[in-house]
Amino acid sequence: MLPKLFLSIFYTFWILTTKCFVSCKIRPKSYEKYLTEVMDHLSEQVGWDSLQHLEIKNEISTEISTNIKDVICKGSSTILSKKFDAIIHILNYTYTDVIHTFIDHISAIAKRCQEYYDFNLGDDLLSCIVLLQSVVENSKTMFEQLYNVMNYLSNIDFKLLANFKKTFSVPIVDEIYTFVEYATLKSKKNTQIFINPNDPNTKREAYEVILDVNSFIQRKGNQSYQKIKEKNSLIVYNHKQKCLLEDNLKDYNARQNRNIELSYYLCEWLNMYYVEISTNLYKNLGFEEVLELNEASIFKPTIYSYKNICHKQVIQQLNTITKGSGWKSLKHINIIFNDQVVSVDRILRHPADRINFHCKIQHVLRLIKCIYTEILFKYCKYVISLLNFCEAVYVKSNDVAYINFVRQIFDAVNETTKMFDIMHKTLVSLHNLRGKYNHDNVNSNLISLCTLITNLLEEIKSGNCSMAVLATKSDKNNMKVSQLDATTCVRKFSEFLKYNKLKSSLNKTHEKHCRLRNLPLNIDIPESIYTDKFSSACNKLIVFSENVIKVYFEELGLNKFN
Q: Is residue 344 part of a domain?
A: no
Q: Of the candidates 269, 290, 311, which is a domain's last residue?
A: 290
Whether residue 162 is contained in a domain is answered as yes
One pLDDT digit (tens) per residue for the chain, 562 residues: 444 544 444 445 444 544 434 457 788 899 999 999 999 999 999 999 999 888 888 776 566 788 899 999 988 999 999 999 999 999 999 999 999 999 999 999 999 999 999 998 988 999 999 999 999 999 999 999 999 999 999 999 998 888 777 788 899 999 999 999 999 998 877 655 555 566 778 888 889 999 999 999 999 999 999 988 877 777 777 766 678 999 999 999 988 666 789 999 999 999 999 999 999 999 999 999 999 988 778 898 888 887 767 888 889 999 999 998 899 889 888 988 888 899 999 999 999 999 999 999 999 999 999 999 999 999 999 999 999 888 877 656 567 778 888 889 999 999 999 999 999 999 999 988 888 776 655 446 788 889 899 999 999 988 777 666 555 554 555 555 477 778 888 888 999 998 877 666 777 777 777 876 667 777 877 666 777 888 999 999 999 999 999 999 999 999 987 5
Domain extent, residue 539, equals 2-24+368-561
- Who contacts 148 (Cβ-Cβ below 8 Å, separation ≥6)? 287, 291
Is 84 in the same domain as 200? yes
Examine the fold and report which residue of 236, 264, 290 is the final residue of a domain before the chain moves on. Answer: 290
Q: Are residues 49 and 144 in the same domain?
A: yes
Ramachandran bin of 241, using left for φ above 0, alpha for ψ from -120 to 50, beta for the remaining angles: beta
Tell whether 155 and 13 lie within a shared domain.
no
Residue 432 counted as domain residue? yes
- 338 neighbors 168 (Cβ within 8 angstroms): yes
What is the reported pLDDT for 469? 55
| 19 lies in the same domain as 166 | no
- Are residues 100 and 193 both part of a single domain? yes
* Residues 102 and 17 occupy one common structural domain: no
Q: Are residues 79 and 179 in the same domain?
A: yes
Dihedrals φ, ψ of 435, to 5°? 100, 170
Q: Are residues 181 and 140 in the same domain?
A: yes
Say whether both 128 and 253 belong to one domain: yes
Of the candidates 266, 290, 314, which is a domain's last residue?
290
Whether residues 12 and 50 share a domain: the answer is: no
Question: Is 350 strand, coil or helix?
Answer: coil
Question: Is position 235 within any domain?
Answer: yes
Residues 6 or more apart whose CB falls under 8 angstroms from that of 418 comprise 545, 549
The reply to whether 7 and 37 lie within a common domain is: no
In a domain, 441, yes or no: yes
Exposure string of 249-271, with b = 16+ CB inside 10 Å and e = fewer, is eeeeeeeeeeeebbbebbbebbe
In angstroms, rounded to a whole number, what is the distance separating the alpha carbons of residues 131 and 111?
Answer: 13
Residue 167 lies in a domain: yes
Domain-embedded: residue 389: yes
Distance in angstroms (rounded) separating the CA atoms of residues 471 and 454: 26
- Co-location of 7 and 55 in the same domain: no
Residue 441 CA to residue 125 CA, distance in Å, equals 65
Q: How many domains, the chain? A: 2
pTM for this model (two decimals): 0.89
Task: Report whether 433 contacts 23 (CB < 8 A).
Answer: yes
pLDDT for res 440: 54
Alpha carbons within 13 A on the beta-carbon side of 549: 14
Cβ–Cβ < 8 Å for 290, 356? no
330 is a domain residue: no
Element (H, E) at 149: helix 140-154
CA dihedral angle for residue 380, residue 386, residue 389, residue 391, rounded to 10 degrees: -70
193 vs 213: CA distance, rounded Å: 15
